[in-house]
Amino acid sequence: MTQIFSYLLEVIVGLLGGACLLRLYMQYQRVPFGNPLGRFVFAVSDWIVVPLRRVVPPFRRWDLSSALAAWLLVLVKCLFLMWMGEATRWTTLPLVALVDLMRLAVSGLMALLIVYAVLSWVPGASSMLQDLIARLSKPLVRPLRRYVPLIGGVDLTPLIAVVLLQIIAFVLVDLRGWAMHLG
């Protein structure tokens, strides 16, 4: 029963926290929110971001209330997991939540890149969705395109970016284990 509750908690926090992070990233990239994805992100995250915005102002292009909302959601998840027996100390809980937030961000970026790659191969995909995903993905693959040429007309930079993000995810898993046993 504990595994089921833990899994459901991961899914719910992944969806809500991911929406907050996507909101942060879309605002940073100045992507309009009038599209279906933007409306979904607002609908899912408004309940926590809007009240925080009254207390936490944005900093330049960074919507700090969205970042704080995502971290608070992950912190609550970590509290529940600790209550269920995960070996985390109270003193390191904020750090563990921060590492989990970074893991969620990396997972979200990997998913974004996978959707970007798949949509580039699907003829007749929604041009609005394709443009939106491309606009969010290009800052991640643009630096790699300087070093990785097209091979047989195929752009491998999304794959390379996913591999690099997966390496970062491995490092974050180790960092989480280290953070859990601090103090």
pLDDT tens digits, one per residue of 3-59: 999 999 999 999 999 999 999 999 999 998 999 999 999 999 999 999 999 999 999
Residues 36, 22 contacting (CB under 8 angstroms): no
- Measured CA to CA, the distance from residue 106 to residue 168 in angstroms comes to 8
Residue 173 has pLDDT above 90, yes or no: yes
Query: Is residue 173 helix, strand or coil?
Result: helix
Reported confidence tier of residue 156, pLDDT bands at 50, 70, 90: very high
pLDDT of 91 over the 90 cut = no
Q: What is the pLDDT at residue 112?
A: 97
pLDDT of residue 123: 80
Q: What is the residue-averaged pLDDT of the chain? A: 93
Q: Nearest CA to 61 among 96, 92, 99, 26? A: 26
The pTM for the full model equals: 0.92
Q: Does the pLDDT of residue 183 top 70, yes or no?
A: no
What average pLDDT does range 141-155 have in this prediction? 92
Residues 6+ away with beta carbon under 8 Å from 179: 92, 95, 96, 99
CA dihedral in degrees (120, 121, 124, 125; nearest 10)? -50
- Between CA 20 and CA 48 the distance in angstroms is 9
